[in-house]
């Protein structure tokens, strides 16, 4: 018999066991939920994207077949070209693709109308057109550049086939246009309506991470050097610009905030430059034996560093941002008194150069001012995006200025034109049936990769994709398409290629492989005029694609401008040229100087390789150019308000600085330094004190002193370069 005690004991153990089980179950549920949300956040978008890609392709195929178009594969190719992870990007890409196609078609018709009877003028005009398109694709950024690629490519798919049957030109043009239209409509419809991925989240993430990084940098200083963070910031700025330029067709907040984002970018450029310049000044002062000046500047900087971090962390929510804003405003408010106290304090040390602390103080107050402006815009964008509607109207921050270097542009244009001419010559001399296909791919590669920082690596990746595509075409033409007898089976037959293309192009490391695969597959797949396999055509076409890749690879390696040491030397020369422009041209303002300098570096491709020693040198040169350029521009801004005689002296300073930057030799440097010493002595002597206000004297003095510091510091580097020049 069981005693009640025994039963109670059993029940208790049972209850304990059940509690344990419940706890375990809860743990499992939590784990599953966690895994589920992780999956939903990370993997689900990719699966959704693959699904969307397939859906768009099937829709385009169905419409193209239903309308009995000549080449349904062109519609599919269009889908492959414009599909993108983000919905807004698809619409923007389609928009530029449409413009490029329409212009390309119009030009093809003109070309056929003019030169259909003679091939030489035809190909020369076509080569000129391709050259122009290549140049355009290099000059413009983002998807605008894409429009030019498409304008060139359309010439190949409309103009070249039309030369064989000129009386069908109009028909060819209108069918290609409809096929492309079907592709564009399906891609945009599907990516808008099915699981749309909005840009606004990306933009906010970039904006926030940029702010976080900058706060940490401001708060803790840069123990590991400034170059890496500065490069990172530049990357962020251009990424944000890329997102912004694609946001104009979005439905969400991104479009409304476009102007604000632009303004934020410009302000961020200003504030990060000022910070870097200030830090470089402090570092330069620290290299001296007695660095009382650097210590004083760091003491002055300290409250600002403390202000941007809250409990050692960057501000993350609206309240924290408001607190940072208030702290920075307070810093600005009593900065002048603190500077005066420091200067008073330094009077005790006669060896200290007060002017250097004043120069730093000037920079620091500019930093605080720019930081305030940046914080205001940031708060508007992140903390209270809903309260923007009125505020966003007044922003008229202009576009990011471009710096166009015509030399690489003309090299690329020549390359594009030559690639077309070489392939055309092969086509004509050996009477090759697949010449048009080769020219099409040749033009695609030479326009699409013109702006690539490392074209050889790009071509290699793309070629891997094309090879994969050729293999896949063989399998699907010979084994799958021959078994197809209705729409559903056709869909099944093309599914592997579509999925593989989508998957490869969604991963950043293999985007180009995906592009090559998609383009090669849908250029060659066998359901255009007749379904199924035609071995002769298949081999001809594969050889054509390979020949095109080889020719454009050779052309790229022969004219690889970006990799030549000459191009790198030119970047430095151009930076100096921009400083000269800042000295001499009245149209150059601080933001324009800033944007053009950064755009030059961005286009030189160094931003993409932040680890290399070469990039570090480029960034050093960029910082040096920014530093002196801004000082010169500030000097000019002060000089605008002064009387004739000091104004002429400032003009003379500018001319001398410009001549030094034009020809960085020892003699010019000595001349500038002597003149600056003379000018500074004149200003400090108070000889013409009645000609200038005290505040103007102070501003002029600090800027001149700063320019003197920078130019004097350039000495060792300069001697090194002249001595190596003499050695070689």
CB of 617 to other proteins, least distance (A): 46
CB of 24 to other proteins, least distance (A): 40
Which residue number, 169 or 597, has a Cβ lying nearer to other proteins?
Answer: 169
Question: Given the rule CB under 8 A, which of 252-260, 275-283, 328-336, 514-522 is the region that contacts other proteins?
Answer: 252-260
Which residue number, 256 or 421, has a Cβ lying nearer to other proteins?
Answer: 256
Q: Is 183 in the site for other proteins (CB under 8 A)?
A: no
Which residue number, 104 or 526, has a Cβ lying nearer to other proteins?
Answer: 104
Which residue number, 196 or 442, has a Cβ lying nearer to other proteins?
Answer: 196
CB of 256 to other proteins, least distance (A): 6
Question: Given the rule CB under 8 A, which of 187-195, 209-217, 358-366, 665-673 is the region that contacts other proteins?
Answer: 187-195
Question: What is the rounded CA–CA span in Å between residue 83 and residue 90?
Answer: 6
Which residue number, 90 or 371, has a Cβ lying nearer to other proteins?
Answer: 90
| Alpha carbon distance, N-terminus to C-terminus of the chain | 108
Token pair of 685 as six digits: 């002597």
Q: Is 192 in the site for other proteins (CB under 8 A)?
A: yes
Q: Which residues 37-76 are close enough to bind other proteins by CB under 8 A? A: none
CB of 70 to other proteins, least distance (A): 18
Q: Give the residue carrying structure tokens 């001549």.
A: 659
Q: Which residues 253-272 are close enough to bind other proteins by CB under 8 A? A: 255-256
Question: Given the rule CB under 8 A, which of 35-43, 186-194, 220-228, 444-452 is the region that contacts other proteins?
Answer: 186-194
Q: Look at residue 316 and give its three-state secondary structure.
A: coil
Q: Give the residue carrying structure tokens 């001697």.
A: 719
Q: Is 189 in the site for other proteins (CB under 8 A)?
A: yes
Which residue number, 386 or 485, has a Cβ lying nearer to other proteins?
Answer: 386
CB 669 within 8 A of CB 714: yes
Residue 562 has what DSSP assignment? T
Which residue number, 168 or 609, has a Cβ lying nearer to other proteins?
Answer: 168
Taking only Cα atoms into account, the Rg of the chain, rounded to an integer number of angstroms, comes to 32
Q: Is 670 in the site for other proteins (CB under 8 A)?
A: no
Which residue number, 92 or 279, has a Cβ lying nearer to other proteins?
Answer: 92
Binder among 70, 213, 252, 718 for other proteins (CB under 8 A): 252
CB 271 within 8 A of CB 372: no
Binder among 41, 317, 389, 485 for other proteins (CB under 8 A): 389
CB 227 within 8 A of CB 279: no
Question: Given the rule CB under 8 A, which of 248-256, 315-323, 474-482, 565-573 is the region that contacts other proteins?
Answer: 248-256
Q: How many CA atoms lie within 13 A of 30 on its CB side?
A: 6
Q: Is 317 in the site for other proteins (CB under 8 A)?
A: no
In Å, what is the CA distance from 703 to each residue of 244, 363, 629, 696?
36, 10, 11, 11
Residue 333 has what DSSP assignment? H
Which residue number, 193 or 681, has a Cβ lying nearer to other proteins?
Answer: 193
Question: What is the rounded CA–CA span in Å between residue 256 and residue 248?
Answer: 8
Question: What is the rounded CA–CA span in Å between residue 658 and residue 581?
Answer: 8
Q: Is 170 in the site for other proteins (CB under 8 A)?
A: yes
Closest CA to 244 of 211, 215, 204: 204
Question: What is the rounded CA–CA span in Å between residue 158 and residue 156?
Answer: 6
Question: Given the rule CB under 8 A, which of 123-131, 191-199, 361-369, 424-432 is the region that contacts other proteins?
Answer: 191-199
Q: Look at residue 513 and give its three-state secondary structure.
A: helix
CB 229 within 8 A of CB 222: yes
Question: Given the rule CB under 8 A, which of 188-196, 362-370, 442-450, 558-566 is the region that contacts other proteins?
Answer: 188-196
Question: Given the rule CB under 8 A, which of 203-211, 251-259, 363-371, 469-477 is the region that contacts other proteins?
Answer: 251-259
CB of 185 to other proteins, least distance (A): 10
Q: Is 386 in the site for other proteins (CB under 8 A)?
A: yes
Question: Given the rule CB under 8 A, which of 153-161, 249-257, 287-295, 633-641 is the region that contacts other proteins?
Answer: 249-257
Which residue number, 132 or 256, has a Cβ lying nearer to other proteins?
Answer: 256
Helix (H) or strand (E) holding 314: strand 313-314
Compute φ and ψ for 309, nearest 5 degrees. Answer: -105, 140
Which residue number, 136 or 196, has a Cβ lying nearer to other proteins?
Answer: 196
CB of 399 to other proteins, least distance (A): 20
Burial class (CB in 10 A: 0-12, 13-18, 19+), 462: buried
Which residue number, 317 or 386, has a Cβ lying nearer to other proteins?
Answer: 386
CB 134 within 8 A of CB 451: no
> Where do the H-state alpha helices sit in 67-198?
72-82, 87-115, 119-139, 142-154, 160-164, 169-193
Which residue number, 63 or 411, has a Cβ lying nearer to other proteins?
Answer: 63
CB of 392 to other proteins, least distance (A): 10
Which residue number, 192 or 376, has a Cβ lying nearer to other proteins?
Answer: 192
CB 436 within 8 A of CB 156: yes
Number of residues that bind other proteins (CB under 8 A): 13
Question: What is the rounded CA–CA span in Å between residue 656 and residue 661?
Answer: 9
Q: Which residues 85-104 are close enough to bind other proteins by CB under 8 A? A: 87
Binder among 209, 251, 302, 719 for other proteins (CB under 8 A): 251
CB of 251 to other proteins, least distance (A): 4
CB of 616 to other proteins, least distance (A): 44
Which residue number, 193 or 637, has a Cβ lying nearer to other proteins?
Answer: 193
Residue 536: left (phi > 0), alpha (psi -120 to 50), or beta?
Answer: alpha
Contacts 24+ apart (CB under 8 A), 429-438: 432/540, 432/544, 433/537, 433/540, 434/537, 434/540, 434/541, 434/543, 434/544, 435/544, 436/156, 436/160, 436/161, 437/523, 437/524, 437/541, 437/544, 437/545, 437/548, 438/544, 438/545, 438/547, 438/548, 438/551
Question: Given the rule CB under 8 A, which of 161-169, 189-197, 275-283, 648-656 is the region that contacts other proteins?
Answer: 189-197
Q: How many residues does the chain have?
A: 728
Binder among 10, 47, 193, 299 for other proteins (CB under 8 A): 193
Q: Give the residue carrying structure tokens 């040491």.
A: 565
CB 481 within 8 A of CB 527: yes
Compute φ and ψ for 313, nearest 5 degrees. Answer: -120, 145
Binding residues for other proteins, per CB under 8 A?
A: 87, 170, 174, 189, 192-193, 196, 251-252, 255-256, 386, 389
């Amino acid at each position: 018999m069981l005693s009640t005690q025994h039963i109670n004991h059993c029940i208790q153990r049972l209850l304990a066991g059940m509690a344990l089980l419940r706890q375990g179950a809860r743990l499992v549920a939590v784990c599953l939920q966690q895994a589920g949300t992780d999956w939903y956040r990370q993997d689900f978008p990719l699966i959704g994207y693959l699904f969307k890609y397939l859906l768009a392709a099937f829709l385009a195929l169905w419409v193209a077949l239903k309308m009995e178009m000549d080449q349904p594969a062109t519609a599919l190719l269009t889908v492959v070209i414009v599909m993108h992870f983000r919905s807004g990007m698809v619409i923007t890409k389609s928009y530029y693709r449409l413009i490029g196609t329409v212009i390309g078609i119009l030009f093809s018709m003109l070309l056929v109308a003019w030169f259909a009877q003679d091939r030489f003028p035809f190909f020369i005009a076509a080569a000129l057109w391709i050259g122009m398109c290549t140049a355009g694709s290099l000059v413009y950024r983002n998807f605008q550049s894409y429009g030019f690629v498409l304008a060139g490519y359309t010439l190949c798919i409309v103009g070249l086939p039309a030369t064989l049957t000129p009386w069908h030109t109009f028909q060819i043009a209108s069918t290609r246009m409809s096929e492309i239209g079907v592709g564009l409509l399906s891609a945009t419809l599907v990516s808008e309506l099915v699981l749309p991925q909005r840009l606004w989240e990306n933009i906010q993430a970039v904006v926030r991470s940029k702010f976080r990084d900058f706060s940490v940098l401001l708060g803790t200083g840069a123990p590991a050097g400034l170059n890496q963070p500065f490069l990172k910031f530049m990357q962020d700025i251009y990424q944000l610009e890329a997102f912004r330029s694609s946001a104009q067709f979005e439905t969400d907040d991104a479009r409304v905030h476009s102007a604000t984002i632009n303004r934020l970018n410009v302000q961020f450029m200003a504030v990060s430059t000022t910070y870097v310049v200030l830090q470089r000044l402090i570092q330069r002062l620290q290299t001296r034996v007695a660095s009382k000046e650097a210590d004083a500047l760091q003491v002055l900087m300290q409250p600002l560093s403390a202000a941007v971090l809250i409990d050692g962390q960057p501000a993350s929510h609206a309240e924290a941002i408001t607190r940072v804003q208030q702290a920075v405003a307070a810093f600005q408010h009593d900065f002048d008194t603190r500077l005066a106290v420091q200067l008073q304090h330094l009077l005790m040390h006669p060896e200290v150069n007060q002017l250097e602390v004043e120069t730093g103080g000037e920079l620091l107050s500019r930093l605080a001012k720019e930081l305030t402006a940046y914080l205001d815009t940031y708060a508007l964008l992140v903390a209270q995006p809903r309260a923007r509607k009125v505020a966003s109207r007044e922003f008229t921050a202009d576009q990011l200025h471009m710096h166009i270097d015509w030399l690489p542009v003309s090299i690329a244009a020549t390359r594009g034109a030559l690639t077309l001419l070489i392939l055309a010559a092969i086509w004509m001399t050996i009477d090759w049936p697949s010449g048009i296909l080769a020219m099409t791919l040749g033009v695609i590669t030479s326009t699409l990769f013109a702006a690539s920082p490392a074209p050889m690596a790009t071509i290699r990746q793309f070629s891997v994709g094309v090879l994969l595509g050729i293999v896949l075409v063989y399998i699907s033409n010979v084994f799958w398409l021959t078994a197809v007898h209705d729409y559903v089976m056709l869909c099944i037959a093309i599914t592997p290629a579509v999925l593989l293309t989508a998957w490869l192009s969604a991963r950043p490391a293999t985007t180009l492989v995906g592009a090559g695969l998609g383009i090669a597959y849908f250029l060659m797949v066998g359901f255009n005029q007749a379904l199924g396999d035609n071995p002769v055509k298949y081999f001809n076409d594969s050889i054509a694609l390979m020949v095109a890749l080889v020719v454009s690879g050779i052309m790229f390696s022969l004219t690889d401008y970006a990799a030549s040491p000459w191009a790198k030397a030119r970047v430095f020369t151009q930076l100096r040229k921009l400083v000269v422009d800042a000295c001499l041209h009245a149209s150059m303002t601080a933001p324009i100087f800033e944007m053009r300098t950064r755009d030059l570096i961005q286009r030189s491709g160094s931003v993409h390789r932040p680890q290399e020693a070469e990039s570090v040198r480029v960034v050093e040169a960029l910082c040096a150019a920014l530093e002196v350029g801004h000082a010169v521009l500030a000097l000019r801004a002060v000089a605008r308000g002064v009387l004739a005689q000091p104004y002429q002296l400032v003009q003379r300073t500018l001319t001398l600085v410009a001549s030094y930057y034009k020809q960085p030799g020892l003699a010019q440097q000595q001349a500038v330094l002597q003149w600056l010493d003379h000018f500074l002595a004149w200003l400090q002597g108070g000889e013409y004190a009645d000609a200038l206000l005290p505040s103007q004297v102070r501003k002029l003095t600090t800027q001149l002193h700063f320019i003197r510091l920078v130019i004097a510091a350039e000495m060792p580097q300069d001697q090194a370069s002249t001595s190596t020049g003499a050695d070689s």
